[in-house]
Amino acid sequence: MGAVASLVPSAGYAKPVVDQSRKPNVVMIVCDDLNDYVAGMAGHPQAQTPHIARLAQSGVAFKRAYSNNPVCAPSRSSFLTGIYPHTSKNLFWDKWYNNPVLKNSKTIMDHFRDNGYHVAGSGKLMHHHLPSVWSEYKYKADYGPFVYDGQNRVAHPSVPQPFNSIGAVDGSYAPLSDMPYGPNENDNKGWIYGAWGKIEKFKYVDQDNRDPTPDERNAAWAENRINELAKQEDGKPFFLGVGFIRPHTPLHVPKRFFDMFPTDSVKTPVIRPNDAEDTHYKDVFDSDQKGLKYFRLLKQSYPDLESALKAFTQAYLASVAAVDECVGRVIEAVDKSPFKDNTIIIVTSDHGWNMGEKDYLFKNSLWEESTRVPLIIRAPGLAVPGGIAEHPVSLIDIYPTLIDLCGLKGDTKKNSKGAKLDGYSLRPFLKDPKSETWNGPEAALTMIYAGKPTGNDPAKQHWSVRTRRWRYILYNNGSEELYDHNTDPYEWINLSRDTRYAKTKANLKARLFRMTGR
């Protein structure tokens, strides 16, 4: 299956080529809510992601990769179909497979299967799962372990109020060793898995005697499946998708990951006092919008903001370290298999997460923290080991990149009601990370949904474009933000009203309109 070294150049070839008789395999690993707290991205100085770092040393890391819609469902339905949200008008939480454009377009999985690949997956890939696009699928998305109080899923009792009131998902963080409610006679409280609609106990006795977390279960499945595929002799290449939940909330992982980041020594995010004053998110969303509300409640739950952010940051860093270990298990399985030199590995996330910057604690903002994502691609024989690409790209570019690298044939539209791919192949940056020759845009495009009254009209949403130097934000009420990353990497100073930058702002606004077809 997928013989070794098809991406490695043969004797007599000056450049790497893909042998069409030996198509490369693909392993796509997607983490959830993973921001730039990854080694090499300078997001947090204490982040520990050695496995992702090692992958980057064998492939190309994209320094400026961005989500096109920084919330789970629309981001995934966009990059796994290769179609911008504004093209499909699938802008927020609607099921992608009911969308008139997306249901008539092939997902990445469809297209690989139509090209003779065995397509296997497990975990959270599409937010709204559709089994028919896979040859096989093991585990559906499971956000557990959750805390169960005997009647409902709830936030961990160790989380102080009022943050605890947010609930079982976004309002909860704790190490697994912190047994909720402790032993109880009826054994009807404590940790449970996260499948909705049923209660499945999550056994925890101690660190060495417990059930695997959903992410650990998916990593084990991927490892075993790679080993099984290596024993098959049908010569069929494979596409393997693995979706890990962490660091999505609830932030429940083994204690040894929390121990890596003692609360007292945790460094809080770099935040400028009153940084939100010159921003406009609060002008277009009310105070109960999740990011604004979560920040406010977290701050109210601790004696001061510093201790509040330390507690949450510790749990997030622990969850990042935990998922890195799971990512490493999958990569190691590939590297120990006969597929190592003939398997493309991609590691990325659906979007980032603000950690308190601009008085905001959540995803779904147009600022750097919510939009920037890790993106690492290892393509043996093609991608420059240890390469760092600095040109802005986005998740929409993954699908056309894989078509290019794997030599896939055929239309990605099922019929005339579908849409062509919106992204561009990243091959030039894999061959030369400093390349200036690319067919794609000079900016990455991101939108967030403005709410039900706007319907599915792209012109009524909120938008951002990110070039190498600039971030420009346009809200649907006409408010603007402009940040110069050359001098202001934390986006502290909104320059949109500074007349010295009027031309820059106008050019970026025109670029945004061109990219959205307005």
- Look at residue 409 and tell me if it is in a domain: yes
Task: State how far the alpha carbon of 481 is from the alpha carbons of 317, 358, 406, 518, in Å.
Answer: 29, 13, 40, 19
- Look at residue 101 and tell me if it is in a domain: yes
Write out pLDDT tens, residues 106-116: 999 999 999 99
Write out pLDDT tens, residues 104-151: 999 999 999 999 999 999 999 999 999 999 999 999 999 999 999 999
How far, rounded to the nearest angstrom, does the alpha carbon of residue 345 sit from its chain's CA centroid? 15
Residue 446 tokens read as 């991101």
Sheet holding 444-448, edge to edge: 444-448, 462-466, 470-474, 480-484
Task: State how far the alpha carbon of 513 is from the alpha carbons of 84, 108, 368, 428, 507, in Å.
Answer: 14, 28, 20, 26, 10
Q: How much helix, strand and coil, in percent to the nearest 5, is found in the chain?
A: 30, 15, 50
Q: How far apart are CA 2 and CA 159, in angstroms?
A: 49
Does the pTM surpass 0.85? The reply is yes
CA torsion through residues 448, 143, 34, 82, sign: negative
Q: What is the pLDDT of residue 10?
A: 28
Q: Domain of residue 338: give its range.
A: 28-516
- Look at residue 18 and tell me if it is in a domain: no
Q: Which residues make Cβ contacts (< 8 Å) with residue 100, sequence separation at least 6? A: 417
According to DSSP, residue 176 is labeled: T
Q: How confident is the model at residue 287 (pLDDT cuts 50, 70, 90)?
A: very high
Going by C-alpha positions, the residue among 458, 403, 350 that lies closest to residue 106 is: 403
Going by C-alpha positions, the residue among 18, 12, 2, 16 that lies closest to residue 405 is: 18
- Look at residue 204 and tell me if it is in a domain: yes
- Look at residue 9 and tell me if it is in a domain: no
Asked whether 440 and 393 are in contact (CB, 8 A), the reply is yes
Cβ neighbour number for residue 500 with a 10 Å cutoff: 7
Mean pLDDT, range 361-387, rounded to an integer: 98
Q: How confident is the model at residue 235 (pLDDT cuts 50, 70, 90)?
A: confident
Strand 146-148 versus strand 153-154 pairing type: antiparallel
Going by C-alpha positions, the residue among 21, 59, 130 that lies closest to residue 375 is: 59
Q: What is the CATH number of the domain that holds 326?
A: 3.40.720.10
Q: Which amino acid is at 306?
A: E
Residue 11 has pLDDT above 70, yes or no: no
Task: State how far the alpha carbon of 280 is from the alpha carbons of 117, 203, 291, 417, 450, in Å.
Answer: 47, 46, 13, 37, 13
Mean pLDDT, range 468-493, rounded to an integer: 98
Residue 21 has pLDDT above 80, yes or no: no
- Look at residue 510 and tell me if it is in a domain: yes
Q: What's the structural domain count of the chain?
A: 1
Q: Where are the beta strands (DSSP E) in 384-485?
A: 387-389, 393-394, 444-448, 462-466, 470-474, 480-484
Q: How far apart are CA 65 and CA 372, in angstroms?
A: 6
- Look at residue 5 and tell me if it is in a domain: no
- Look at residue 1 and tell me if it is in a domain: no
Tokens 């977290």 correspond to what residue? 298
Q: How confident is the model at residue 16 (pLDDT cuts 50, 70, 90)?
A: very low
Q: How far apart are CA 27 and CA 20, in angstroms?
A: 18
The DSSP string of 209-276 is EEPPPHHHHHHHHHHHHHHHHHH--S---EEEEEE--TTSSSEEE-HHHHTTS-GGGPPPP---TTGG
Cβ neighbour number for residue 262 with a 10 Å cutoff: 10
